[in-house]
Amino acid sequence: MLEGTPAVALIGALLMSAVLFLALRWTFGTGRNQPAPHLPDPDDPTGDGLLEEVSRVPTEAAALVLRSRLGDAGIRATVGRADGVYRLLVFHSDAVNARVVLSRGALD
């Protein structure tokens, strides 16, 4: 009457192990679908990524005035510091317009 019990127990244990393995794999998976960490572009010597330099000024106050002028024109800009000068950085698509806005101030 109990002749098939070891086989059923073995199949049940294997099935339970498979379910447990899949549940743990789903919970604590390898994370291969996670985005890779950002690696710097070796072809970009400045390391600015999507930003492009449009001006360099010697003081922080001057950089903030220029950033304000760009902001008034609707151009997003940031100030970075490198080698003792302040750099005005904008997105590549805004670089031409930013140079035009900054040059208008120089001609006034």
CA angle, 60 then 61 then 65, to 5°? 115
Q: Given this model, what pLDDT does residue 95 score? A: 92
The amino acid sitting at 50 is: L
Q: Given this model, what pLDDT does residue 36 score? A: 67
CA angle, 46 then 51 then 57, to 5°? 75
Q: What is the Cα 71 distance to its own chain's centre?
A: 23
Q: What share of the chain is helix, strand, coil (3-state, %, to 5)?
A: 50, 20, 35
Q: For the whole prediction, is pTM greater than 0.75?
A: no
Give, for all 108 residues of the chain, the pLDDT tens digit. Answer: 456 688 888 899 999 999 999 998 888 877 666 676 767 666 766 667 788 899 999 999 999 999 999 999 999 999 998 888 999 999 999 999 999 999 885 555
